[in-house]
Structure 1
Amino acid sequence: MTHQITMTDVTFTYPGQSRPQLKHVTLSIKQGAFVAIMGGNGSGKSTLCKCLNGLIPHYYVGDYTGKTTINSHDTTEVSVSALSKHVGYVYQDFENQLVSPRVLDDACFAPLHFGLSDFKARGERALELMAIDHLKDRYIWQLSGGQKHLLALSGILSLNPDIIIVDEPVSQLDPFHAEVIYKQLKALHQQGKTVIVIEHHASFVARYAEEVILMSEGELLTHTSVREALENDAVLSQAGVYPPEVTMMARKMKRHDHPLPLTIDEAERYFRPLLKQTEENQVESMPTVNKNAAVQLKGVSFHYQSLEKTTHQVFDQLDLSLYQGERVALIGNNGAGKSSLMKLLTGQFKPKTGQIKIFNEDINKQSPEQLAEYVTYIHQNPEHMFIDDSVEKDIGYFLKMRHTPNLDQRVATLLERFDLTSLKSRDARLLSGGQMRRTSLAIGEGTSPRLLLLDEPTATLDMVAKQHVKRLMQNQTGEEKTIVMATHDVSLVFDWATRVIVLNNGQIIFDGVPEQLVDDYHVLNKAGIILPEVVELSRRLELPLMKNQQMFIDCLQDEVI
């Protein structure tokens, strides 16, 4: 099998940076491979892939040395346009790829401008593959973040390239659509396509990829099979990558007579012989919380009109109460209404009917600026929160506007807490996705809100940063502080939330503790929820419900013969 992609001693430094983002990278990828590139935020994964479609060095004109070839073409000698016939790339900031007002027009854009006569059929076929063909007449601004991600992938599929690169393919998708994307990528791989994904989720890598490239600080550490990569704890640690949950749990059991499991099916076979008996699963009831209301929605309806004057109903007579001290997770399919509910609570959206009270104040009588004194909203797209030309100034901007005492010390503390001190002089808009996310969280934390609204706070974060964010959110809770998080990260939901609300088409179809959700198959299927590995494994082994790895290990050690 021929090497379709080669990089030889490639080093690249962005303009204005003193250290290279890629350092002497040499690799080769065979035609028809399925490769996952893994590493911490800022490790050089996206930069490496930008070398493969010619953006480096044709668009990013930093200091580039070495050689990259695609299908024997030297990328320095071929235009980005010509390379796009070989390489399709869905970027981490995928919204910048959406260039037409309507969904179908955007899916058709590339083949139309290449002069392909079947451009419309190509666009329609791509939308169908991504299961969003029912949205073809919508305008882009009507889509949720996850739906936009699916559209960006449809746009490159319409050109039928030989090599498909997807940067963070599931970062803003619900579990159902995440599986849709990976199954489609697998189908494309089986048709002979070369598929490259930049991925933090080791569970997807274990089930779908064949090879793994591990990177750290711009250097390629290893390029091996999936099993060899995900079992190599030392190199994974150096790269800032966590293996699948089931692999970590098996490693803690310190059994050396069996290979470590990488998937849930392997884990079931691995752990079952260790059990001597099972116990009945016990479901917790709703925990006791402070019954002082933080948020009250009564009879709230919200809709918007398309440019054709048709009405899209988001909520109809919605009733909901949230209480002080709760940690609430909002989950559901893309387009279920999670982000819309968040924006109603900030005053960005106004209800058509009904009343919204926050801490007993009618928000219809307050401006968004007044609400911001005690409500903070962390955007799904962190770059929307950046105003100034450095991380340090962005974090200090809102504090300065509020005349916060000891401003410099407060900013320094936030920089340190979110591991941003070394980046404080960088323009936040030019950081990696995970670094931008940490900056936006630092901005929000700086306002000391009583109601904190987090829209997909762990999207695009590597696993180390995700654990950092989770610990931070757990430390923020208190008697009077309420945190509401819209997320697709179900592992985070089970390990962090005291209450789960599942939305589907603007309706609440579940409201309870995470434990009650496990056996509600109707809700799980309707909302496209896939249980975390540790939860699914404890259910398969008929153990009491385990919400995190440590609970599973502690229980299993009690059960071991």
Structure 2
Amino acid sequence: MRPSSFQANQQGPQQAAPIIKLQDIQFQYPGAENMALHNIQLTVQPGEFIAIAGTNGSGKSTLCKCLNGLIPNYYVGDLDGSIEVAGLIAAEETVSSLSRKVAYVFQDFENQLVRPTVYDEACFAPLNYGFSDYRERGLRALSMLGIDHLKDQWIWQLSGGQKHLTALAGALSLDPEIIIIDEPVAQLDPFHARLIYDKLKLLNEKHGKTIIVIEHHTEFIADYCNRVVLMDSGTIRWVKPVHEALSAVDELAELHILPPQVTLAVCTLEAASGKAKSEDSSPYPITIDEAAPYFEKMLKSSITLSDVPTDKPISNNELIKQPLITFANVSYSYKTIARTMHPVIRNMSISFYEGDRIALVGNNGAGKSTLLKLLSGIRRPTEGLLTVCGHITKQSSPELLSDFVSYIYQNPEEMFIEDSVRKDVEYFLKARGIADYHPFVDEILERLRLTALQDRDGRLLSGGQQRRATLAIGLAMRPTVMLLDEPTASLDAASRREMTEMLAQLQDHVKSTIIATHDMQLVAEWANRVIVMHDGCVALDTDERSLFSHVAILKQAGLIAPQIALLSQRLGFEPPCLSVNEFTARLIRNINPSNPFEQEEITVGSN
């Protein structure tokens, strides 16, 4: 039996006049064949903390843009139905008047940053609304998010995560009743992701703000939200309390949404024992605090190291004498507006080898993206020597290095320069004058399931489709080294699983793959080497299993282990587990060593 305490705190705030009420909403974009929103009915009470979940393209962002007037005043189309927000009839209001009630932070948040410095951006909205205390409002918003030390920084100097925090500060400065954030943690390191949600929780519980997040990461939904709105193909499939919502494992799996890892672990173990979850049974645990007592009751003896292979493989350094990439005392700095030099990479010496699957991790601003740009030749070291595939980057043009290195940008749209996916994939081959490339392009498009999309403009594809298209562009360059910046950012579970599988397939085509990521689950499941960066330096160079034992370095770099690794550490597993399947396998072996765990028979969903 699962503990019944999981049923507590499922109900939202007491019923009152709704702060949001949508009735019979229909919306269709110009030229679209299908409705983007269809028969939407939704009521939100003041002070709720709601997550909107669903796959890419299910209508989540479109729904939220109806709440602040962007639809239909900016994004035109056919809108029908009744929308009431904070006592206002949306059809009678403007984007300007609604934005005083509803703050919105976009998924593509960089497009809403309009001022030169962080402080200017935070003050911009209250200044334009005529608030005499606009300076104090801006500073207070920056302080709430812990970025007041960045107030004099130029926007263009910031990392992606720092820009995201700045956009949120600009929204908070108006003191809105409703705060909507589209993918709040997509480009943040785990520490700042948790910080964002802690601040949203404070705004919700202390100041009574109504919070709506569009979120793919169900662990955050479990820890912070009280209700979940599940969208599917432009409709609301259901609205449920968070425990009930995240316990609907089979239904979520049908829509390619992954419940929290601890929930999957319980579900997997019950499937292994032949139990079937009935409709009247208590919800599954969805947080570590809830899951730990459940698993502690199952343990009859301590988990030992014998459950996991402990022989450390021979390193690439021992197998291959010649590295593909060598940093020798490399530093990179840029000149600020004040004509001072700002260091980003500091005296780095490290080598990368064939067979490396490297994850660059660290807090926002640690230098991960800059490191990738140095490798691609987009940036050149200000000091030291960087050698890539036998070429000194200071003496080589980016065009020359592109024969060996493919760089996939953090923002997929920056990779599209033609009006179709096929033309974008062909672009490099045509520019290099390679003959008879069409069969090769056909093969890449087929491998990445892009054949049906090859005539579409890449900028108009969904997030997951864009990621696949950019990977095809990179593979068409036949690189020796593949570089990817945040390859799983903003992807739903299905698209993220596809990306992980595609990264695994790269071994057949490239000699080394290097990704910069905040996705610690991706690190645990894919990488065989992890470089932890902090303040422009290498703080740790280790393997994926040893990574999570370096507690002090993880804390310094703003990193938090995946939920299943944290749970296994809490239960005394040493070393910690890196996936749900590994966790359940070790647990069953510990409980009943004579009955080996058959992973393929009981796997539910994905890790």
**Paired residue for 1:222?**
238
After superposition, where does 1:31-50 map in structure 2 within 5 Å? 31-50=46-65
Separation (CA, whole Å) in 2 of partners of 1:329 and 1:393? 30
**Residue in structure 1 matching 2:288, options 252, 264, 275:** 264
Find the counterpart in structure 1 of residue 577 from structure 2.
Answer: 546
How far off is 1:193 after superposition? 0.7
Counterpart mapping for 1:404-419 below 5 A: 404=434, 407-419=437-449
Q: 1:301 aligns with which of 325, 331, 336?
A: 331
Any residues of structure 2 matched to 1:83-482 within 5 Å, and which?
83-190=98-205, 191-254=207-270, 259-281=283-305, 285=312, 287-289=314-316, 290-291=319-320, 292-404=322-434, 407-478=437-508, 481-482=511-512
CA positional deviation for 1:341: 0.6
User: Does the alignment pair 1:57 with 2:87?
Assistant: no
- Three-state SS of the structure 1 residue aligned to 2:585 is helix
% identical equivalent positions: 46
Q: Deviation digits for residues 393-446 of structure 1, max 9, x if unmatched?
A: 333333333345554554444444444455444433233433333322222222
- Given that residues 324 and 479 in structure 1 are in contact (C-alpha distance below 8 angstroms), is that contact kept between their aligned partners in structure 2? no
Equivalent-residue separation in structure 2 for 1:514 and 1:192 (angstroms)? 41
| SS across alignment from 2:430 | helix
2 CA distance for matches of 1:410 and 1:217? 34
Output the amino acid matched with 2:23. Answer: T
Q: 2:538 aligns with which of 501, 508, 522?
A: 508
Match of 2:588 in 1: 557
Q: Is the 8 A contact 1:286 1:512 kept in 2?
A: no
1:234 match: secondary structure = helix
* Deviation, structure 1 residue 17: 1.4
Distance 1:12 1:413 in 2: 38
Partners in 1 of 2:589 and 2:40 — Cα distance?
47
- 8 Å Cα contact 1:284-1:515 kept in structure 2: no
| Cα distance change of structure 1 residues 272 and 258 upon mapping to structure 2, 3 Å threshold | farther
AA aligned to 1:510 is: L
User: Quick one: which amino acid aligns to residue 292 of structure 2?
Assistant: E
Q: 1:526 to 1:49 in 2, by over 3 A?
A: same
Whether the aligned pair in 1 keeps the contact of 2:117 and 2:153 (CA below 8 Å) is yes
Whichever residue aligns with residue 121 of structure 1, its letter is E
C-alpha distance in structure 1 between counterparts of 2:509 and 2:106, whole Å: 41
CA contact (8 A) 1:221 1:235 kept: no
Code of the aligned partner of 1:135: L
**2 CA distance for matches of 1:111 and 1:409?**
57
Q: Is the 8 A contact 1:125 1:158 kept in 2?
A: yes
Per-residue CA deviations over 1:244-276 (Å, capped at 9, x if unaligned) read: 011111101115576421011111111111122
- Cα deviation 1:95-149 (Å, max 9, x = unaligned): 0010011110011110111111111111111111111111111101100000000
Query: Contact 2:181–2:214 (CA<8 Å) still a contact in 1?
Result: yes
Aligned letter for 2:585? D
RMSD: 1.8
* Conserved 8 A contact 1:293-1:360: no
1:349-380, CA deviations, whole angstroms, 9 ceiling, x for partnerless residues? 11111111112221222110111111001111
Match of 2:38 among 14, 20, 23: 23
Match of 2:3 in 1: none
- Looking at structure 2, the residues matched to 507 and 432 of structure 1 have their Cα atoms a distance apart, in angstroms, of 35
Give distance in 1, aligned partners of 2:164 and 2:41: 30
Once the two structures are overlaid, the 10-residue window that deviates more, 297-306 or 63-72, is 63-72
Residue 122 and residue 422 in structure 1: after superposition, are their counterparts in 2 closer, same or farther (change >3 A)?
Answer: farther
**Corresponding residue number in structure 1 for 2:520:** 490
Report the Cα offset of residue 549 of structure 1. 1.3
Q: Which residue of 1 aligns with 2:597?
A: none
- What stretches of structure 2 of length at least 5 have no aligned partner? 1-15, 593-607
Moved more, 62-71 or 364-373: 62-71
With over 3 angstroms needed to count, the CA separation of the structure-2 counterparts of 1:74 and 1:504, relative to structure 1, is: same
Structure 2 letter corresponding to 1:187:
L
Query: What letter matches 1:93 in structure 2?
Result: D
CA deviation after TM superposition for structure 1 residue 481, in Å: 1.0
Deviation at 1:479, TM superposition (A): 9.2
Is this contact kept in 1: 2:478–2:509, CA < 8 A? Answer: no
Q: Which moved more, 1:493-502 or 1:538-547?
A: 538-547
Q: Provide, for residues 173-195 of structure 1, a one-character-per-residue CA deviation record: whole Å limited to 9, x for no partner.
A: 00000000000011111121110
Q: Which 10-residue stretch deviates more, 51-60 or 384-393?
A: 384-393
**For 2:335 and 2:311, how far apart are their aligned partners in 1?**
42
Deviation at 1:196, TM superposition (A): 0.3
| Corresponding letter in the other structure for 1:78 | E
Cα distance in structure 2, aligned partners of 1:340 and 1:407 = 32
1:392 to 1:51, Cα distance in 2 relative to 1, 3 A: farther
User: What CA distance in whole angstroms lies between the structure 2 residues aligned with 1:196 and 1:217?
Assistant: 20
* 3-state SS of paired residue (1:398): helix
Q: 1:317 to 1:234 in 2, by over 3 A?
A: closer
Any idea what SS the aligned residue of 1:121 has?
Answer: helix
Worse overlay, 32-41 or 404-413: 404-413
Higher mean C-alpha deviation, range 54-63 or range 140-149: 54-63
Give yes or no for the alignment of 1:66 onto 2:97.
no
Quote how far apart the aligned CAs of 1:490 are.
0.7
Contact kept in structure 2, 1:274 and 1:559, CA below 8 Å: no
Q: Alignment partner of 2:92: what SS?
A: coil
The answer to which of 328-337 and 252-261 deviates more is 252-261
Describe the shift of the 1:101–1:184 C-alpha distance in structure 2 as closer, same or farther (beyond 3 A).
Answer: same
Letter in 1 for 2:527: A
TM-score (norm 1): 0.96
Task: Write the letter of the residue equivalent to 1:336.
Answer: A
DSSP-derived class of the 1:109 partner? helix
Q: Which string of whole-angstrom CA distances, capped at 9 and with x for unpartnered residues, describes residues 319-370 of structure 1?
A: 0100011001110000001011111111111111111111222122211011
Change (3 A) 1:408 1:79: farther
Letter in 2 for 1:10: I
Does the 8 A contact of 2:102 with 2:178 survive in 1? yes
| 1:511 match: secondary structure | strand
Tell me, yes or no, if the aligned pair for 1:88 and 1:164 is still in contact at 8 Å.
Answer: yes
Structure 1 residue 22: Cα displacement = 1.3
Residue type of the alignment partner of 2:537: Q
Range with bigger deviation, 81-90 or 403-412: 403-412
Residue 219 (structure 1) shift: 1.5
- The separation in 2 between residues aligned to 1:63 and 1:318, in whole angstroms, is 55
Q: Structure 1, residues 39-69: CA drift from partner, whole Å, max 9, x if none?
A: 1111111111111111111111112222222
CA distance in 1, matches of 2:48, 2:585: 39
Q: What CA distance in whole angstroms lies between the structure 2 residues aligned with 1:396 and 1:499?
A: 32
